[in-house]
Structure 1
Amino acid sequence: MHKPIAIIGAGGHAAVIADLLRKTNRQCIAIVDRQDTSEVSDIHNAPVLSEEHFLARYSPNDVELALGIGSLPYQNLRQKVFERFVLKGFIFPALVHPQAIVADNICFGNGVQVMAGAIIQANSQCADNVIINTKASVDHHCHIHAHSHIAPGSVLCGNVSVGNGAFIGAGAVITQGVSLGNGSVVGAGSVVVSDVKSNTTVKGVPARS
């Protein structure tokens, strides 16, 4: 039997995660935000607790966590929060929307989130804390390293490697066999046809730095 889940964060991404939990019949018992409002959140009809209050009430034995903090280029708040709670012993289960299409032999790390309409094909891997966002398409043998975000509508063709903390903007296309370095950023709507170095931003058709 699954443990209940608390959502970390109370913004737009948290609302999407709350909907995913409802559709997968997972119980949300709290929203963890910066301040304790002592009110029930409209995100998931659950109380909003400060981190201090949450940790005083719940332990890793009681609850699992889902990150409701989104991921944007050039910032690593999501990664920092994930790592902080992992060090406290909490588990972030992989969450897959029932309207996603995921091949049988996919390897998911902790805290992976696969949103509605996403497709992940055979022999691909998603490491810890990866977001495969709405209607993103990941083809065969792709390797997406930790803390990366594949934004809505983006396409990864086969054998693509995405480095740690990379961000692929909405509607971008990464062609067959391309490697994106750690911390790289691909602008929305770009088409990437060659490898991208770490901590480099590319955009355009074809994408250039």
Structure 2
Amino acid sequence: MTPILIYGAGGFAREIAWLIERCQNDGQLIEAVGFIDDNTNTHGKTINGLDVFSLTLAIKKFPNARFTVAVGNSQIREYLTKKALGAGLIEISIIHPQTEASRFIEYGQGTVICAGNILTTNIRLGRGVQINLNCTIGHDVLIGDFVTLAPGVRISGCVHIEHGVYIGTGATIINGTLNNPLVIGKGAIIGASACVTRHIPPNAVAVGVPAKFKI
């Protein structure tokens, strides 16, 4: 049984603990053993049956554990991932057993895929990607490192999503083409329920239907 430490102690961390439990019930040899939190006020507390530790104490107590970062913010997740790796932990991917996905998917290290997701074919996921509940991802989609998809995101085919993008709940990304994929630039934020129909530049915020952006 592989012990897993969950970096984060908020609502999404509790959801990840449930995801790990669901994977375990499906026969995967993994087990959540605790939360890591940089907020000292939570240390020593118990959340949903799991204790909260500092990073140092968690590693001391579970030296062979793997870790996953349960934080939706892309930039914070990248920072915490680097911090945990620097402390000697090894990251693990966690994928809900009922995820619908073809065999033509490339998964980056530290991928988290929650319940109800569909990934079709020829899709590449970068490191630390989080795909929340009930998303769909079409063919020929490239998703960069530390991208976050909030619940209910719909991504059509031939879309490139660059490093650190955050896509809000219920957003829709319309398809590009193989020769001209629709690109969402590095660090962009797509608002909830937005409908993206054209390229979004890096670090822009795009909202509305159709989505309009500002930098």
Are the counterparts in 2 of residues 5 and 65 from structure 1 also a CA contact under 8 Å? yes
Are the counterparts in 1 of residues 3 and 62 from structure 2 also a CA contact under 8 Å? no
Alignment of 1:118-137 (within 5 A): 118-137=117-136
Are the counterparts in 2 of residues 91 and 110 from structure 1 also a CA contact under 8 Å? no
Aligned residue type for 1:30: G
Of residues 164, 185, 190 in structure 2, which corresponds to 1:181?
185
Flag the structure with higher strand content: 2
Alignment of 1:1-209 (within 5 A): 2-25=1-24, 26-33=30-37, 34-35=39-40, 37-42=43-48, 45-59=49-63, 62-71=64-73, 76-177=75-176, 178-209=182-213
Task: State the shift of 1:55 in Å.
Answer: 2.9
Task: State the shift of 1:9 in Å.
Answer: 1.0
Give unpaired runs (5+ residues) of structure 1.
none
Q: Distance in 2 between matches of 1:145 and 1:79?
A: 12
Q: Distance in 1 between matches of 2:47 and 2:166?
A: 30
- TM-score computed with the length of structure 2 as normaliser: 0.88
3-state DSSP of counterpart to 2:211 = coil
- TM-score computed with the length of structure 1 as normaliser: 0.91
Q: Structure 1, residues 43-92: CA drift from partner, whole Å, max 9, x if none? A: xx222212221233333xx11001122226xxx21110011112233222
Give unpaired runs (5+ residues) of structure 2.
25-29, 177-181
Q: Structure 1, residues 108-151: CA drift from partner, whole Å, max 9, x if none? A: 11111111101111110110011111001111110000011111
Q: Structure 1, residues 4-54: CA drift from partner, whole Å, max 9, x if none? A: 111111111101100110011121112112336434321xx2222122212
Deviates more, 1:50-59 or 1:188-197: 50-59
Aligned partner of 2:179 in structure 1 is none
Q: Distance in 1 between matches of 2:52 and 2:208?
A: 42
Aligned residue type for 1:111: G
Deviates more, 1:135-144 or 1:2-11: 2-11
Q: Distance in 1 between matches of 2:47 and 2:84?
A: 22
The CA RMSD measured in Å over matched residues stands at 1.5
Q: Structure 1 residues 203 and 40, CA, compared in 2 at 3 Å: closer, same or farther?
A: closer
Q: Distance in 1 between matches of 2:198 and 2:118?
A: 23
Aligned residue type for 1:49: F
Q: Distance in 1 between matches of 2:98 and 2:51?
A: 28
